Amino acid sequence: MARPDINRSGEIEVFVRVVEAGSFSAAARMLRMTPSAVSKLIARLEARLGARLISRSTRKLQLTPEGAAFFGSGVRILADMAAAEREAAAGAAPRGRLRVNSYVPFGQHRLIPLLPRFLERYPEIAIDLVLTDNVIDLMEERADVAIRAGPLGESRLVARKLGQSRLVVVAAPSYIRTHGALQTPADLDRHNRMGFCFVRHVDGWPFVGAAGEAFIVPITGNALVSDGEAMRLMALSGTGIARLARWHVAPDIAAGRLVPLLEDFNPGDEELTHAVYVGQGKHLPARVRAFLDFLVETVRLS
């Protein structure tokens, strides 16, 4: 338990300002303190933690690995404290800037169409939205919520499941007319199997044979893309064959723009979508809790 005479939030704020300002003297001016007082406070913080946070030199300040981790946590703590104070002063009404990071297909086809409804419900929230299929560090990017597809790695983040959808192999009718129909997964050897230019959980496409045996067909083609929406557009153009979540391509299948392939060999595996965030329960800012509850209420992927 912390001693009552230690102002931990004050120490965190001074440390964060030193890192952001790049020097003790600049942080001291910002905080209206003397450089020696700032230096002593950082030294006291390091002594209390039992770890060196900053490597000092005559030229610049360099964070140690422990310092970098503490800085990320400190930024988040200060932001949460500021949000808590604002919400308490306003009766805990959801308000403020909500930073959201989403994988591209979900952002374009599910999240963006829902945002007008969310913002109408919570007019004092402002959305800061970034779409990318890259897995970001929420602390480093200062994001409140990230929406991710696929298996979740080990982390200290909290996750709420938004849904799941079967994966399906698809191609455009124009591609099939040019390159021929497929009867079995073995036929994929003579076709262009498009992949992603980032590491996937499974390096290949899984299938189930006639006897129930599971096997993986490697991805070998002349096209790699950065996100699922680009993959869908490449498939629609007739460039090659793609494997995507059914919810993502269901309108294209219904309209005849894409055709499901090798469904008799589909293992039925599903891609899960989660909203991940830092913190939980009563410590969540109201704007984050409101957004998470809204997603669970409105998102449908199956």
Residue 204 lies in a domain: yes
CATH number of the domain that residue 82 is part of: 1.10.10.10
Q: Which residues contact 240 (CB under 8 A, 6 or more apart)?
A: 171, 175, 191, 192, 193, 194, 221, 222, 223, 234
d(CA 296, CA 279): 18
**One domain for residues 147 and 163:** yes
Number of domains in the chain: 2
Q: Which two tokens stand for residue 220?
A: 């070998």
- Helix, strand, coil percentages (3-state) for the chain, rounded to 5, are 45, 25, 35
Q: Answer yes or no: are the C-beta atoms of 228 and 103 closer than 8 Å.
A: yes
**One domain for residues 25 and 169:** no
d(CA 197, CA 234): 14
**One domain for residues 251 and 130:** yes
Phi/psi at 101 (5° precision): -120, 130
**One domain for residues 66 and 185:** no
Pick from 103, 82, 129, 110: nearest CA to 286: 82
* Consecutive 10-residue averages of pLDDT for the chain (302 residues): 60 89 86 87 88 77 88 86 66 84 96 97 96 83 90 81 96 97 94 85 84 91 93 97 97 98 96 88 80 95 78
φ/ψ region of 210 (left if φ > 0, alpha if ψ in -120 to 50, else beta) reads: alpha
Task: Please give the pLDDT value at position 25.
Answer: 86
Q: Which long-range contacts (CB under 8 A, 24 or more apart) does 230-233 make?
A: 230/104, 231/194, 231/196, 232/105
**One domain for residues 148 and 289:** yes
Q: Which two tokens stand for residue 240?
A: 């090659």
Pick from 150, 115, 104: nearest CA to 276: 150
The torsion defined by the Cα of 176, 254, 219 and 174, in degrees rounded to 10, comes to 20
Q: Answer yes or no: are the C-beta atoms of 107 and 162 closer than 8 Å.
A: no
Task: Please give the pLDDT value at position 58.
Answer: 54
Residue at which a domain ends, from 37, 61, 88: 88
CA distances from 39 to 9, 112, 133, 223 (A): 16, 47, 41, 54
Segments forming the whole domain that contains residue 43: 8-88
**One domain for residues 38 and 136:** no
CA distances from 258 to 196, 252, 297 (A): 19, 5, 30
**One domain for residues 196 and 104:** yes
Task: Please give the pLDDT value at position 267.
Answer: 95
* Cβ burial 235-274 (10 Å sphere, 16+ → b, else e): bbebbbbbbbbbbbbeebeeeebbbebbeebbeeeebbbb
Q: Which residues contact 226 (CB under 8 A, 6 or more apart)?
A: 133, 196, 197, 198
Task: Please give the pLDDT value at position 35.
Answer: 87
